[in-house]
Amino acid sequence: MRAGRLGNVTGALLMGGASSRMGRDKAGLEWDGEPWGIRAARLLEGLFEEILLVGGDPAPDAPGRRVADPAGPRCALRGLVAALGAASSERVLVIATDLPLLSADLLLALTAWPEYDAVVPSDAQGDHPLCAIYRRDTVLPMARDRLACERLSLKGLLERIDTARVTLAEFGLGDLGSQPLTNVNTPDDLAGLAARVEH
């Protein structure tokens, strides 16, 4: 760790999603006056020395190294393959842009958990593979094979590797409820989240 940032974990922000249900690129949506893509990249920048901005069209002032998605269907698995392939660290923490309430506490808890092929937060909604930490050398070959065969489910990938599913309470963050893992896929989701936070 140097200057308060981890050098042995790469932070990767996946930005290449289709955002079809939202109707526009989620990275450009704003929360507290800041575009989601920049907000998430800056969150990673405060924690990790190496930041990857994977796919999509990152804003010029978003911190991090741009990484193109590989060929293949537009899906989260493609972004994971790109992130793992470009990372210089053995462990890669991957997040999506549609988690506007994501906290540094949760990301640090993921990095501190005993090492598995994947450490994935889990709550009543299920697993959250787009807010998780992956071991590059074991996960990348399998993820590439599954992408090539168009077996695109991240849930299916997690079932084939050594995965730790951990609740926020087990991370010591039970007082946050499921708030940091709230993802936003539609305009109604966004309006509902804004209403809950204002309340």
Q: Is the pLDDT assigned to residue 18 strictly greater than 60?
A: no
Q: How many residues comprise the chain?
A: 199
All residues at 6 or more sequence positions from 19 whose CB lies less than 8 Å from its CB, including other chains: 25, 26
Q: What is the CA radius of gyration of the chain?
A: 16
Which of 74, 87, 108 has its CA nearest to residue 1? 108
- pLDDT-derived band at 1 (thresholds 50, 70, 90) equals very low
User: So what's the pLDDT on residue 112?
Assistant: 96
134-192 pLDDT, tens digit per residue, is 999 999 999 999 999 999 999 999 999 999 999 999 999 988 777 888 776 666 665 56
Strand 48-54 with 34-35, pairing = unpaired
Q: Is the pLDDT assigned to residue 17 strictly greater than 90?
A: no
Q: Which residue has the higher pLDDT, 153 or 100?
A: 153
Which of 119, 84, 110, 81 has its CA nearest to residue 173? 110
Task: Give the residue-averaged pLDDT of 2-23.
Answer: 77
Q: Which residue has the higher pLDDT, 151 or 1?
A: 151
Go through the domains of the chain in sequence order and give each one's CATH number. 6-198 (3.90.550.10)
SS3 category, 157: helix
Q: Which residue has the higher pLDDT, 88 or 18?
A: 88
